[in-house]
Chain A
Amino acid sequence: MKSKKGKRTAEKFLHDGIVMLEKLTEAQRSFHSDYQTYLAKEREKLLPEIQQSLWRVRTENINFEGGRIVESIFAGDPLNPAGSIIKPPGGRFNFGPISSFFTRFPGLYCASNYETAFAEKFQRRSNESEGDAFSGSEFSLCEPGSFSYNRVGVFMETVLDLRDSEKLVPFCEVIGKIHPSREIGGNWKKRFKTKKPLTTIKSVDQLVSSIFQSDYQQWPTWIDQPSNSQWLGLYAIKAGIDAIIFPSCRNESGYNVVVFPERIGKQSKTYVKLLDETPTVPKDRRIVDSRSAPGFVSNSFEMANALQPN
Protein backbone atom coordinates (compact mmCIF):
# COMPACT_ATOMS: atom_id res chain seq x y z
CA MET A 1 0.00 0.00 0.00
CA LYS A 2 1.40 3.32 -1.03
CA SER A 3 0.08 6.78 -0.48
CA LYS A 4 -0.88 8.93 -3.44
CA LYS A 5 2.59 10.40 -3.58
CA GLY A 6 4.13 6.94 -3.60
CA LYS A 7 5.54 7.13 -0.10
CA ARG A 8 5.37 4.15 2.20
CA THR A 9 2.92 5.05 4.89
CA ALA A 10 2.90 4.19 8.58
CA GLU A 11 -0.17 2.08 7.89
CA LYS A 12 1.74 0.13 5.26
CA PHE A 13 4.43 -0.73 7.78
CA LEU A 14 1.75 -1.81 10.23
CA HIS A 15 0.13 -4.09 7.70
CA ASP A 16 3.52 -5.63 7.06
CA GLY A 17 3.80 -6.31 10.78
CA ILE A 18 6.55 -3.75 11.09
CA VAL A 19 5.98 -1.04 13.61
CA MET A 20 7.92 2.19 13.22
CA LEU A 21 6.94 4.16 16.26
CA GLU A 22 8.66 7.33 15.09
CA LYS A 23 6.34 7.52 12.09
CA LEU A 24 3.17 7.27 14.17
CA THR A 25 1.04 9.95 15.74
CA GLU A 26 1.08 10.47 19.49
CA ALA A 27 -2.31 8.78 19.75
CA GLN A 28 -1.09 5.77 17.77
CA ARG A 29 2.02 5.47 19.94
CA SER A 30 -0.22 5.68 22.97
CA PHE A 31 -2.20 2.77 21.55
CA HIS A 32 0.98 0.71 21.23
CA SER A 33 1.93 1.54 24.80
CA ASP A 34 -1.47 0.33 26.05
CA TYR A 35 -1.27 -2.71 23.79
CA GLN A 36 2.18 -3.70 25.07
CA THR A 37 0.92 -3.37 28.64
CA TYR A 38 -2.04 -5.58 27.78
CA LEU A 39 0.19 -8.21 26.15
CA ALA A 40 2.58 -8.22 29.12
CA LYS A 41 -0.34 -8.82 31.49
CA GLU A 42 -1.66 -11.63 29.31
CA ARG A 43 1.78 -13.25 29.21
CA GLU A 44 1.96 -12.98 32.97
CA LYS A 45 -1.15 -15.15 33.20
CA LEU A 46 0.68 -17.75 31.11
CA LEU A 47 3.99 -17.45 32.94
CA PRO A 48 4.22 -21.09 34.15
CA GLU A 49 3.66 -22.27 30.57
CA ILE A 50 6.15 -19.73 29.23
CA GLN A 51 8.75 -20.91 31.72
CA GLN A 52 8.20 -24.53 30.73
CA SER A 53 8.34 -23.73 27.04
CA LEU A 54 11.78 -22.17 27.41
CA TRP A 55 13.13 -24.70 29.90
CA ARG A 56 12.13 -27.59 27.62
CA VAL A 57 14.36 -26.36 24.79
CA ARG A 58 17.39 -25.44 26.87
CA THR A 59 20.84 -26.66 25.92
CA GLU A 60 23.17 -27.69 28.71
CA ASN A 61 26.87 -27.34 29.40
CA ILE A 62 28.08 -25.15 26.56
CA ASN A 63 31.57 -23.69 26.32
CA PHE A 64 32.21 -20.46 24.49
CA GLU A 65 35.26 -18.34 23.78
CA GLY A 66 34.96 -14.80 22.55
CA GLY A 67 35.45 -11.25 23.68
CA ARG A 68 33.84 -8.34 25.38
CA ILE A 69 34.13 -4.59 24.84
CA VAL A 70 33.62 -2.19 27.72
CA GLU A 71 33.98 1.55 28.14
CA SER A 72 37.37 2.67 29.48
CA ILE A 73 35.82 3.31 32.89
CA PHE A 74 35.48 -0.49 33.19
CA ALA A 75 38.94 -1.32 31.84
CA GLY A 76 40.00 -2.38 35.33
CA ASP A 77 36.81 -4.37 35.86
CA PRO A 78 35.81 -5.66 32.41
CA LEU A 79 33.37 -8.31 33.64
CA ASN A 80 31.29 -5.74 35.48
CA PRO A 81 27.81 -5.83 33.89
CA ALA A 82 26.88 -2.36 35.19
CA GLY A 83 26.94 -0.80 31.73
CA SER A 84 23.92 -2.88 30.74
CA ILE A 85 21.79 -1.22 33.41
CA ILE A 86 23.28 2.28 33.26
CA LYS A 87 22.89 3.25 29.63
CA PRO A 88 19.30 3.52 28.43
CA PRO A 89 17.53 1.38 27.45
CA GLY A 90 19.70 -1.62 28.41
CA GLY A 91 20.81 -4.42 26.15
CA ARG A 92 18.81 -6.52 23.74
CA PHE A 93 17.96 -9.12 26.40
CA ASN A 94 17.95 -7.15 29.63
CA PHE A 95 16.04 -4.24 31.13
CA GLY A 96 18.13 -1.11 31.55
CA PRO A 97 16.71 2.27 32.52
CA ILE A 98 13.38 2.10 30.66
CA SER A 99 10.99 3.61 33.16
CA SER A 100 10.45 3.27 36.88
CA PHE A 101 7.80 0.61 36.15
CA PHE A 102 10.42 -1.88 35.07
CA THR A 103 13.06 -3.27 37.39
CA ARG A 104 16.48 -3.31 35.85
CA PHE A 105 18.43 -6.56 35.62
CA PRO A 106 21.98 -6.88 34.30
CA GLY A 107 23.23 -8.89 31.36
CA LEU A 108 26.88 -9.71 30.77
CA TYR A 109 27.27 -9.51 27.00
CA CYS A 110 30.08 -11.19 25.08
CA ALA A 111 30.60 -11.67 21.36
CA SER A 112 32.19 -14.35 19.26
CA ASN A 113 34.96 -12.04 18.03
CA TYR A 114 36.22 -8.46 18.14
CA GLU A 115 34.34 -7.20 15.10
CA THR A 116 31.04 -8.51 16.43
CA ALA A 117 31.72 -7.10 19.88
CA PHE A 118 32.41 -3.68 18.35
CA ALA A 119 29.36 -3.77 16.11
CA GLU A 120 27.09 -4.77 18.99
CA LYS A 121 28.56 -2.29 21.43
CA PHE A 122 28.45 0.71 19.13
CA GLN A 123 25.68 -0.37 16.74
CA ARG A 124 28.07 0.08 13.83
CA ARG A 125 30.95 -1.86 12.29
CA SER A 126 34.40 -0.59 13.24
CA ASN A 127 35.10 0.50 9.67
CA GLU A 128 31.74 2.26 9.24
CA SER A 129 31.61 6.00 9.46
CA GLU A 130 29.05 8.64 8.61
CA GLY A 131 29.40 12.20 7.53
CA ASP A 132 32.77 13.80 7.92
CA ALA A 133 34.85 11.26 9.83
CA PHE A 134 32.03 10.43 12.21
CA SER A 135 33.00 7.00 13.49
CA GLY A 136 30.77 4.18 14.72
CA SER A 137 31.61 4.62 18.37
CA GLU A 138 30.79 8.33 18.22
CA PHE A 139 27.12 7.49 17.76
CA SER A 140 27.31 6.23 21.32
CA LEU A 141 29.25 9.33 22.39
CA CYS A 142 32.30 7.19 22.98
CA GLU A 143 35.54 8.65 21.79
CA PRO A 144 37.08 6.54 19.01
CA GLY A 145 39.39 3.96 20.54
CA SER A 146 38.35 4.78 24.10
CA PHE A 147 37.30 1.32 25.15
CA SER A 148 38.78 -1.94 26.31
CA TYR A 149 38.53 -5.35 24.63
CA ASN A 150 39.14 -8.55 26.59
CA ARG A 151 39.00 -12.17 25.54
CA VAL A 152 36.63 -14.19 27.66
CA GLY A 153 35.84 -17.84 28.29
CA VAL A 154 32.28 -18.75 29.20
CA PHE A 155 30.74 -21.94 30.51
CA MET A 156 26.97 -22.04 30.51
CA GLU A 157 25.10 -24.69 32.43
CA THR A 158 21.71 -23.84 30.93
CA VAL A 159 21.35 -21.94 27.67
CA LEU A 160 18.66 -20.79 25.29
CA ASP A 161 20.41 -21.10 21.94
CA LEU A 162 18.60 -18.81 19.52
CA ARG A 163 20.91 -19.59 16.63
CA ASP A 164 18.31 -22.29 16.02
CA SER A 165 14.95 -20.57 15.63
CA GLU A 166 13.15 -23.89 16.18
CA LYS A 167 13.96 -23.41 19.85
CA LEU A 168 11.29 -20.74 19.90
CA VAL A 169 8.49 -23.00 18.66
CA PRO A 170 7.15 -24.00 22.12
CA PHE A 171 7.34 -20.38 23.36
CA CYS A 172 5.56 -19.22 20.21
CA GLU A 173 2.81 -21.78 20.78
CA VAL A 174 2.23 -20.43 24.26
CA ILE A 175 2.12 -16.75 23.37
CA GLY A 176 0.06 -17.65 20.29
CA LYS A 177 -2.81 -18.25 22.70
CA ILE A 178 -2.97 -14.54 23.41
CA HIS A 179 -5.56 -12.54 21.52
CA PRO A 180 -6.30 -8.83 21.57
CA SER A 181 -9.30 -7.97 23.71
CA ARG A 182 -12.38 -6.50 22.04
CA GLU A 183 -11.54 -3.12 23.55
CA ILE A 184 -7.95 -3.16 22.30
CA GLY A 185 -9.09 -4.30 18.87
CA GLY A 186 -11.63 -1.47 18.75
CA ASN A 187 -9.03 1.08 19.72
CA TRP A 188 -6.72 -0.24 17.03
CA LYS A 189 -9.32 0.26 14.31
CA LYS A 190 -10.14 3.71 15.61
CA ARG A 191 -6.60 4.99 16.02
CA PHE A 192 -5.27 3.54 12.78
CA LYS A 193 -8.43 4.00 10.74
CA THR A 194 -8.20 0.46 9.43
CA LYS A 195 -10.64 -2.40 9.02
CA LYS A 196 -7.92 -5.02 9.24
CA PRO A 197 -8.06 -6.82 12.59
CA LEU A 198 -5.23 -6.44 15.06
CA THR A 199 -3.18 -9.62 15.26
CA THR A 200 -0.61 -10.96 17.68
CA ILE A 201 2.51 -12.98 16.94
CA LYS A 202 1.47 -16.41 15.67
CA SER A 203 4.49 -17.76 13.80
CA VAL A 204 8.12 -18.37 14.69
CA ASP A 205 9.17 -16.19 11.76
CA GLN A 206 7.21 -13.26 13.18
CA LEU A 207 8.67 -13.90 16.60
CA VAL A 208 12.22 -14.09 15.28
CA SER A 209 11.74 -10.82 13.35
CA SER A 210 10.48 -9.16 16.47
CA ILE A 211 13.27 -10.45 18.73
CA PHE A 212 16.02 -9.57 16.32
CA GLN A 213 14.62 -6.21 15.29
CA SER A 214 17.67 -4.07 14.58
CA ASP A 215 15.92 -1.07 16.13
CA TYR A 216 14.61 -2.81 19.25
CA GLN A 217 15.47 0.36 21.20
CA GLN A 218 12.49 2.13 19.63
CA TRP A 219 10.10 0.54 22.13
CA PRO A 220 11.70 1.86 25.32
CA THR A 221 12.64 5.10 23.56
CA TRP A 222 9.20 6.02 22.25
CA ILE A 223 6.71 4.34 24.55
CA ASP A 224 8.67 3.42 27.70
CA GLN A 225 8.04 -0.27 27.14
CA PRO A 226 10.62 -3.06 26.92
CA SER A 227 11.17 -4.61 23.51
CA ASN A 228 10.04 -8.18 22.92
CA SER A 229 13.67 -9.34 23.12
CA GLN A 230 14.08 -7.70 26.52
CA TRP A 231 10.94 -9.47 27.73
CA LEU A 232 12.32 -12.76 26.42
CA GLY A 233 15.47 -12.19 28.50
CA LEU A 234 13.33 -11.78 31.60
CA TYR A 235 11.30 -14.90 30.83
CA ALA A 236 14.51 -16.88 30.26
CA ILE A 237 15.70 -15.90 33.74
CA LYS A 238 12.34 -16.81 35.24
CA ALA A 239 12.58 -20.18 33.47
CA GLY A 240 15.88 -20.86 35.22
CA ILE A 241 18.10 -20.29 32.19
CA ASP A 242 21.55 -18.80 32.78
CA ALA A 243 22.34 -17.45 29.34
CA ILE A 244 21.15 -16.82 25.79
CA ILE A 245 23.21 -17.38 22.66
CA PHE A 246 21.98 -15.29 19.77
CA PRO A 247 23.07 -14.36 16.27
CA SER A 248 24.41 -10.86 15.78
CA CYS A 249 22.11 -8.40 14.01
CA ARG A 250 25.08 -6.11 13.38
CA ASN A 251 27.61 -8.58 12.03
CA GLU A 252 26.21 -11.48 10.04
CA SER A 253 29.14 -13.80 10.64
CA GLY A 254 29.14 -13.32 14.39
CA TYR A 255 27.07 -14.29 17.36
CA ASN A 256 26.72 -13.24 20.97
CA VAL A 257 26.18 -14.56 24.44
CA VAL A 258 24.41 -12.83 27.29
CA VAL A 259 24.90 -14.36 30.71
CA PHE A 260 22.56 -13.31 33.50
CA PRO A 261 24.75 -12.91 36.62
CA GLU A 262 21.70 -12.98 38.89
CA ARG A 263 21.16 -16.58 37.75
CA ILE A 264 24.59 -17.72 38.91
CA GLY A 265 23.66 -19.08 42.32
CA LYS A 266 25.61 -21.13 44.85
CA GLN A 267 25.11 -24.42 43.03
CA SER A 268 25.65 -23.01 39.56
CA LYS A 269 28.53 -24.14 37.36
CA THR A 270 28.08 -21.24 34.96
CA TYR A 271 30.96 -18.79 34.79
CA VAL A 272 32.50 -16.01 32.69
CA LYS A 273 36.23 -15.49 33.01
CA LEU A 274 38.97 -13.41 31.46
CA LEU A 275 41.24 -15.56 29.33
CA ASP A 276 44.36 -13.42 29.32
CA GLU A 277 46.73 -12.31 32.03
CA THR A 278 45.25 -9.08 33.34
CA PRO A 279 47.40 -7.76 36.17
CA THR A 280 45.42 -4.52 36.30
CA VAL A 281 42.22 -6.41 37.14
CA PRO A 282 41.89 -7.55 40.77
CA LYS A 283 41.95 -11.35 41.05
CA ASP A 284 38.44 -11.54 42.46
CA ARG A 285 37.13 -9.61 39.44
CA ARG A 286 38.60 -11.91 36.79
CA ILE A 287 35.80 -14.46 36.99
CA VAL A 288 32.06 -14.27 37.51
CA ASP A 289 31.08 -17.59 39.09
CA SER A 290 29.02 -18.96 41.94
CA ARG A 291 31.27 -17.30 44.50
CA SER A 292 31.73 -13.90 42.92
CA ALA A 293 28.47 -13.36 41.02
CA PRO A 294 26.51 -11.85 43.95
CA GLY A 295 29.28 -9.27 44.41
CA PHE A 296 29.25 -8.41 40.71
CA VAL A 297 25.48 -8.00 40.77
CA SER A 298 25.34 -5.82 43.89
CA ASN A 299 28.25 -3.75 42.67
CA SER A 300 26.62 -3.18 39.29
CA PHE A 301 23.46 -1.92 41.00
CA GLU A 302 25.48 0.34 43.29
CA MET A 303 27.21 1.83 40.26
CA ALA A 304 23.96 2.14 38.34
CA ASN A 305 22.20 3.86 41.21
CA ALA A 306 25.09 6.26 41.61
CA LEU A 307 25.51 7.01 37.93
CA GLN A 308 22.03 6.70 36.49
CA PRO A 309 19.10 6.53 38.88
CA ASN A 310 16.15 4.80 37.19
Chain B
Amino acid sequence: MNLSINQITEPSNTLGLFDSSGHVDLEKTINFLEISKTALASAFGISPDKLRLDRMTDVVREKIAQIAYALELVAVSFKGNLNKTKFWINTPNPNFGGASPRSLIIRGRYNKVISFIEAAHRLSK
Protein backbone atom coordinates (compact mmCIF):
# COMPACT_ATOMS: atom_id res chain seq x y z
CA MET B 1 0.00 0.00 0.00
CA ASN B 2 1.35 3.41 -0.89
CA LEU B 3 1.38 5.90 1.88
CA SER B 4 0.09 9.15 0.48
CA ILE B 5 -0.34 12.41 2.25
CA ASN B 6 -4.09 12.25 1.72
CA GLN B 7 -4.20 9.11 3.81
CA ILE B 8 -2.50 10.78 6.73
CA THR B 9 -4.28 13.13 9.06
CA GLU B 10 -2.09 16.12 8.28
CA PRO B 11 -2.87 17.69 4.90
CA SER B 12 0.15 20.01 4.85
CA ASN B 13 2.47 19.85 1.86
CA THR B 14 4.58 22.90 2.64
CA LEU B 15 7.77 21.51 1.17
CA GLY B 16 5.98 20.12 -1.86
CA LEU B 17 7.30 16.62 -1.30
CA PHE B 18 3.99 15.11 -2.43
CA ASP B 19 2.38 15.54 -5.83
CA SER B 20 -1.19 16.63 -6.42
CA SER B 21 -2.44 13.08 -6.21
CA GLY B 22 -0.75 12.65 -2.85
CA HIS B 23 2.14 10.47 -3.96
CA VAL B 24 5.60 11.14 -2.66
CA ASP B 25 8.03 12.85 -5.04
CA LEU B 26 11.36 11.02 -4.75
CA GLU B 27 13.41 13.68 -6.52
CA LYS B 28 12.10 16.51 -4.39
CA THR B 29 12.62 14.49 -1.23
CA ILE B 30 16.25 13.65 -1.94
CA ASN B 31 16.87 17.19 -3.14
CA PHE B 32 15.49 18.57 0.08
CA LEU B 33 17.68 16.22 2.10
CA GLU B 34 20.60 17.03 -0.20
CA ILE B 35 21.53 13.39 -0.54
CA SER B 36 22.11 11.22 -3.58
CA LYS B 37 19.93 8.35 -4.68
CA THR B 38 22.86 6.08 -3.90
CA ALA B 39 22.97 7.35 -0.31
CA LEU B 40 19.23 6.88 0.12
CA ALA B 41 19.41 3.40 -1.38
CA SER B 42 22.22 2.58 1.03
CA ALA B 43 20.10 3.81 3.94
CA PHE B 44 17.35 1.43 2.87
CA GLY B 45 19.80 -1.40 2.28
CA ILE B 46 18.88 -1.72 -1.40
CA SER B 47 20.67 -1.15 -4.67
CA PRO B 48 20.26 2.30 -6.29
CA ASP B 49 18.55 0.56 -9.15
CA LYS B 50 15.62 -0.21 -6.84
CA LEU B 51 14.93 3.52 -6.57
CA ARG B 52 14.06 3.76 -10.26
CA LEU B 53 10.39 4.62 -10.50
CA ASP B 54 9.66 1.62 -12.68
CA ARG B 55 11.41 -0.74 -10.28
CA MET B 56 10.47 0.75 -6.93
CA THR B 57 8.50 -1.56 -4.68
CA ASP B 58 5.57 -0.39 -2.60
CA VAL B 59 7.62 -0.98 0.55
CA VAL B 60 10.38 1.35 -0.61
CA ARG B 61 7.88 3.96 -1.80
CA GLU B 62 6.21 3.84 1.59
CA LYS B 63 9.53 4.36 3.39
CA ILE B 64 10.24 7.42 1.26
CA ALA B 65 6.73 8.71 1.91
CA GLN B 66 7.22 8.29 5.66
CA ILE B 67 10.43 10.28 5.56
CA ALA B 68 8.83 12.95 3.38
CA TYR B 69 5.83 13.13 5.67
CA ALA B 70 8.09 13.55 8.70
CA LEU B 71 9.95 16.35 6.92
CA GLU B 72 6.63 18.02 6.20
CA LEU B 73 5.78 17.81 9.91
CA VAL B 74 9.05 19.55 10.75
CA ALA B 75 8.10 22.28 8.31
CA VAL B 76 4.72 22.57 10.04
CA SER B 77 6.53 22.97 13.38
CA PHE B 78 8.46 25.87 11.90
CA LYS B 79 5.37 27.35 10.28
CA GLY B 80 6.71 26.67 6.81
CA ASN B 81 10.06 28.34 7.41
CA LEU B 82 12.29 26.48 4.95
CA ASN B 83 15.56 27.70 6.44
CA LYS B 84 14.66 26.58 9.93
CA THR B 85 13.41 23.25 8.64
CA LYS B 86 16.67 22.64 6.78
CA PHE B 87 18.68 23.86 9.75
CA TRP B 88 16.88 21.40 12.05
CA ILE B 89 17.49 18.51 9.65
CA ASN B 90 21.18 19.27 9.29
CA THR B 91 22.12 20.29 12.83
CA PRO B 92 23.48 17.91 15.49
CA ASN B 93 20.62 17.48 17.88
CA PRO B 94 20.92 16.54 21.56
CA ASN B 95 17.64 14.65 21.32
CA PHE B 96 19.45 12.16 19.09
CA GLY B 97 22.56 12.00 21.24
CA GLY B 98 24.26 14.69 19.18
CA ALA B 99 23.60 13.29 15.70
CA SER B 100 21.81 15.29 13.05
CA PRO B 101 18.52 13.93 11.70
CA ARG B 102 20.05 13.90 8.21
CA SER B 103 23.00 11.83 9.41
CA LEU B 104 20.62 9.33 10.99
CA ILE B 105 18.55 9.08 7.82
CA ILE B 106 21.64 8.47 5.69
CA ARG B 107 22.83 5.73 8.06
CA GLY B 108 19.49 3.94 7.88
CA ARG B 109 18.21 5.13 11.27
CA TYR B 110 15.35 7.06 9.68
CA ASN B 111 12.77 5.30 11.89
CA LYS B 112 14.26 7.03 14.93
CA VAL B 113 13.90 10.42 13.28
CA ILE B 114 10.36 9.70 12.13
CA SER B 115 9.27 8.48 15.60
CA PHE B 116 10.71 11.55 17.27
CA ILE B 117 9.13 13.97 14.81
CA GLU B 118 5.74 12.29 15.04
CA ALA B 119 5.81 12.23 18.84
CA ALA B 120 6.86 15.88 19.00
CA HIS B 121 4.13 16.81 16.54
CA ARG B 122 1.44 14.97 18.49
CA LEU B 123 2.58 16.50 21.76
CA SER B 124 2.48 19.97 20.26
CA LYS B 125 -1.21 19.71 19.40
A132 to B78, CA, bound (A): 13
Please state if B124 and A86 are interface contacts (CB–CB under 8 Å): no
A134 in the interface, Cβ–Cβ < 8 Å?
yes
Contact with B along A201-240 (1 / 0, CB 8 A): 0000000000000111111111000000000000000000
The answer to whether A217 touches B122 (Cβ under 8 A) is no
B97 touches A141 (CB 8 A): no
Given A134-B87, A138-B84: A146 and B124 within 8 A (CB)? yes
Number of interface residues of A (CB under 8 A): 35
- B83 sits at the interface (CB 8 A): yes
Shortest CB-to-CB span from B97 to chain A, Å, is 3
Asked, given contacts A217-B96, A218-B97, A307-B122, whether A141 binds B74 with beta carbons under 8 Å apart, the answer is: yes
Task: Give bound CA distance, A52 to B78, whole Å.
Answer: 49
Number of residues on chain B facing chain A (CB within 8 A): 31
Q: How far is the CB of B115 from chain A (nearest CB, A)?
A: 5
Using A141-B88, A308-B122 as known contacts, say yes or no to A22 and B99 having CB atoms under 8 A apart: yes
Per the bound structure, the CA–CA distance linking A123 and B124 in Å amounts to: 17
Interface flag for B103 (CB, 8 Å): yes
Contact: A72 with B99, CB < 8 Å? Answer: no
Q: Kindly state whether residue B104 has any CB partner on chain A within 8 Å.
A: yes
Could you tell me the distance in whole angstroms from the C-beta of A34 to the nearest C-beta in chain B?
Answer: 17
Q: Mark B9-25, 1 if CB is under 8 A from A, else 0.
A: 00000000000000000
Whether a CB of chain B sits under 8 angstroms from the CB of A140 is yes
Contact of A139 among B94, B112, B117, B124 (CB under 8 A): B94
Known: A216-B97, A221-B99. A307 touches B112 (CB 8 A): no
B: residues with CB less than 8 A from A are 74, 77-78, 83-84, 87-88, 91, 93-99, 103-104, 107, 109, 112, 115-125
Q: List 15 A-B contacts (CB under 8 A).
A: A71-B123, A71-B124, A73-B123, A88-B115, A88-B116, A134-B88, A138-B77, A141-B74, A215-B98, A217-B94, A218-B98, A218-B99, A220-B112, A307-B119, A308-B118
**A binding-site residues for B, Cβ under 8 Å:** 21-22, 26, 71-73, 83, 86-88, 97, 123-124, 130-132, 134, 138-143, 146, 214-222, 307-308
Q: A87-B116, A138-B84, A141-B117 are in contact. List 12 more A-B contacts (CB 8 A).
A: A21-B97, A87-B120, A88-B116, A97-B119, A132-B87, A138-B77, A138-B88, A140-B120, A141-B88, A143-B77, A222-B99, A308-B115
Q: Which 7 A-B pairs have the closest CB atoms?
A: A218-B97, A123-B94, A141-B120, A217-B97, A215-B97, A215-B98, A141-B77
